[in-house]
């Protein structure tokens, strides 16, 4: 096995608060262990376009508290084609990079897996996404901060919902996963969460109305995961207008607000631990793994498991939203 001397670090896909803390931890742990570091700008696009910069300890000074990513991020369709990955590989070798730490979500890890297999490159990934939809880790970097942002926004919506006695659908991000919606509902005392995981089992809107919106309450807040399966907040409000016209339904879409802001203490600590563990993993000879956290302990999760979408939302949590909103 070739000895690793130089690490390339990149952030890819959707940005998430805490990515900077992760870049800092990767860079400083690598330097601490005698490795050199290069920052790859704009995710896989930077590898293809040869946007690679020398990183030193002070390259990551004063960033732990900042949202976004100093390396920038991008979606790069060219990397899904073998010609794109060939250019990326050639540029990477020319820059003297012999291992990569990739920080991102599901797509980023899928790309890392293909790239690593194709060129036999050591790659370790970090779960960087607000969606928390990667398997094998209890939390992803950015999820906690996004959840806190949602909580603050919903608290404000609650004031007006109560005053006007309205039904509010608040749409949160979530792609294919209801973690933000469900956890956000618990944190804000929302009346329900409408999530893609439940959509096949239940008409969640009907259940909400049948379960007594207006029996004991004059206002309600429902968190909805953005997803074609749930219909999103707009789709649900349309349905209320058609099927339950007696209710005054309103929509708030939180959108990109959820990605911004200074990372929470939880995300900074998580990112620092996972970033540092990525360097340890590479030095131990680990390949094709994502660093994750389970019950407070660092774990190495094979890429195939990380992107398997097998992490289940807890039924207890969905029950709890219902129980606590009577």
Q: x/- contact string, 91-130, with ligand ATP (CB under 6 A)?
A: -------------xxxxx-xx--x--------------x-
Pattern 58-77, binding to ligand ATP, x per CB under 6 A?
A: -----------------xx-
Residue from 15, 98, 106, 131 carrying the catalytic annotation: 131
Choose which of 11, 72, 97, 131 interacts with ligand ATP (CB under 6 A). Answer: 131
Kindly tell me which residue out of 79, 143, 168, 303 binds ligand ATP, with binding defined by CB under 6 A: 79
Position 308 contacts ligand ATP (CB under 6 A): no
Task: Please tell me the distance from the alpha carbon of residue 155 to that of residue 179, in angstroms, as a whole number.
Answer: 18
Positive or negative CA dihedral for 70, 73, 78, 84?
A: positive
Our answer to whether residue 131 is catalytic in this structure is yes
Cα dist. 121→5, 116, 218, 326 in Å? Answer: 13, 5, 59, 54
Alpha helices in the chain (DSSP H): 19-32, 43-48, 82-94, 106-119, 143-164, 179-188, 204-210, 232-243, 265-283, 303-306, 315-324
Of 33 and 110, which has the nearer Cβ to ligand ATP?
110
Radius of gyration, CA atoms only, the chain: 21
Segment interacting with ligand ATP (CB under 6 A) among 11-19, 145-153, 154-162, 273-281:
11-19
Shortest distance, CB of residue 106 to ligand ATP, whole angstroms?
Answer: 4
Q: Which residue is nearest to ligand ATP (CB)?
A: 107
Binder to ligand ATP among 8, 13, 127, 196 (CB under 6 A)?
Answer: 13
| Matching residue, tokens 């005053």 | 163
CB of 62 to ligand ATP, least distance (A): 25
**DSSP code for 112:** H
Rounded-to-integer distance, Cα 285 and Cα 3, Å:
9
Strand partners, 104: 127
Would you say 176 and 231 are in contact if contact means Cβ atoms under 8 Å apart?
no
Residue 42 CA to residue 252 CA, distance in Å, equals: 31
Identify any residues that bridge with 127 across adjacent strands, giving them in sequence order. 104
- Contact pattern from residue 15 through residue 54 relative to ligand ATP, giving x for each residue in contact according to CB under 6 A and a dash for the rest: -----------------------------x----------
Which of 110, 283 has the CB closer to ligand ATP? 110
Q: Which residues bind ligand ATP (CB under 6 A)?
A: 12-14, 44, 75-76, 79-80, 104-108, 110-111, 114, 129, 131
Q: Please identify every residue annotated as catalytic.
A: 131
């Amino acid at each position: 096995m070739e000895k690793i001397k130089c690490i390339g670090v990149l952030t890819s896909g959707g940005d998430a608060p805490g990515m900077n803390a992760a870049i800092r931890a990767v860079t400083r742990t690598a330097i601490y262990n005698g490795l050199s570091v290069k920052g790859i700008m704009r995710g896989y696009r930077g590898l293809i376009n040869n946007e690679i910069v020398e990183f030193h300890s002070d390259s990551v000074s004063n960033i732990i508290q900042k949202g976004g990513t100093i390396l920038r991020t991008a979606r790069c369709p060219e990397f899904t084609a073998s010609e794109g990955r060939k250019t990326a590989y050639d540029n990477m070798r020319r820059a003297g990079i012999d291992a990569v730490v990739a920080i991102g979500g599901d797509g980023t890890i899928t790309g890392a897996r293909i790239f690593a297999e194709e060129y036999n490159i050591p790659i370790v990934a970090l779960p960087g996404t607000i969606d928390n939809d990667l398997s094998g880790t209890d939390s992803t970097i950015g999820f906690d901060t996004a959840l806190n942002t949602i909580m603050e926004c919903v608290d404000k919506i609650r004031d007006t919902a109560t005053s006007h006695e309205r039904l509010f659908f608040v749409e949160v991000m979530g792609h294919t996963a209801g973690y933000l919606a469900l956890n956000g509902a618990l944190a804000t005392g929302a009346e329900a969460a409408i999530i893609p995981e439940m959509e096949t089992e239940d008409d969640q809107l009907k259940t909400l109305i049948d379960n007594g919106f207006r029996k004991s309450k004059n206002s309600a807040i429902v968190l909805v995961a953005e997803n074609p399966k749930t219909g999103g907040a707009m789709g649900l409000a349309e349905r209320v207008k058609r099927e339950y016209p007696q209710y005054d339904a309103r929509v708030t879409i939180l959108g990109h607000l959820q990605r911004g802001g200074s990372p929470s203490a939880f995300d900074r600590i998580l990112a620092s631990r996972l970033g540092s563990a990525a360097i340890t993993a590479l030095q131990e000879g680990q390949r094709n793994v994502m660093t994750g956290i389970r019950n407070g302990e660092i774990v190495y999760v094979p890429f195939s498991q990380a992107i398997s979408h097998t992490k289940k939302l807890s039924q207890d949590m969905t029950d709890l939203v219902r129980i606590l909103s009577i």
